[in-house]
């Protein structure tokens, strides 16, 4: 099995809705996102994924989140902006790209050092 990853960063604020319905105080992070692509086979050029295309698309997605409040960002809809859900939303955005979708395996988001969440596609 082969893996290839691309990374991007963005700065955004969020206010997570807690189980009791209250909201955390609004706060921001410098989010780090890693998209990982996997395949048992390499393409005719020897790639799992085209790094340039994958990095470009991940940066496009990250730029839509950059300098926003995730609670108000259209891409997030009305979802509670936990790290887990941010990872899933980014995964969903990337998977819309037909060139990336076949090998996209997971998106890991780090909101602070030591605090990360990953969305993994079960194949």
Picking from 26, 35, 25, 29, the residue whose alpha carbon sits closest to that of residue 10 is 29
Q: pLDDT of 79-117, one tens digit each?
A: 999 999 999 999 999 999 999 999 999 999 999 999 999
Q: pLDDT of 34-58, one tens digit each?
A: 999 999 999 999 999 999 999 999 9
**CATH number of the domain that 68 lies in?**
3.30.479.10
Give the C-alpha separation, 27 to 20, whole Å.
19
Q: Annotate the chain with three-state secondary structure.
A: CEEEEEEEEEEEEECCECCCCCECCCEEEEEEEEEEEEECCCCCCCCCCCHHHHHHHHHHHHHHHCCEECCCCHHHCCCCCCHHHHHHHHHHHHHCCCCCCCCEEEEEEEEECCEEEEEECCC
Total structural domains in the chain? 1
31: pLDDT strictly greater than 80: yes
Residue 23: give the domain boundaries. 2-120
The DSSP bridge partners found for residue 117 are 109
Residue 112: phi, psi to the nearest 5? -160, 155
Cβ atoms of residues 34 and 5 within 8 Å:
yes
123: pLDDT strictly greater than 70: no
pLDDT category, 122, cuts 50, 70, 90? confident
Q: What would the two tokens of residue 42 be?
A: 């390499």
């Amino acid at each position: 099995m082969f893996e290839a990853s691309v990374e991007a960063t963005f700065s955004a604020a969020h206010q997570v809705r807690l189980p009791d319905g209250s909201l955390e105080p609004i706060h921001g992070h410098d989010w780090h996102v890693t998209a990982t692509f996997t395949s048992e086979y390499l393409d005719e050029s020897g790639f799992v994924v085209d790094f340039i295309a994958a990095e470009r698309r991940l940066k496009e997605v990250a730029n839509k989140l950059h300098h926003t409040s995730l609670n108000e960002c259209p891409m997030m809809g009305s979802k509670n902006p936990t790290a887990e859900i941010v990872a899933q939303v980014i995964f969903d955005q990337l998977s819309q790209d037909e060139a990336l979708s076949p090998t996209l395996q997971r998106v890991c988001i780090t909101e602070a050092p030591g605090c990360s969440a990953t969305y993994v596609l079960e194949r």
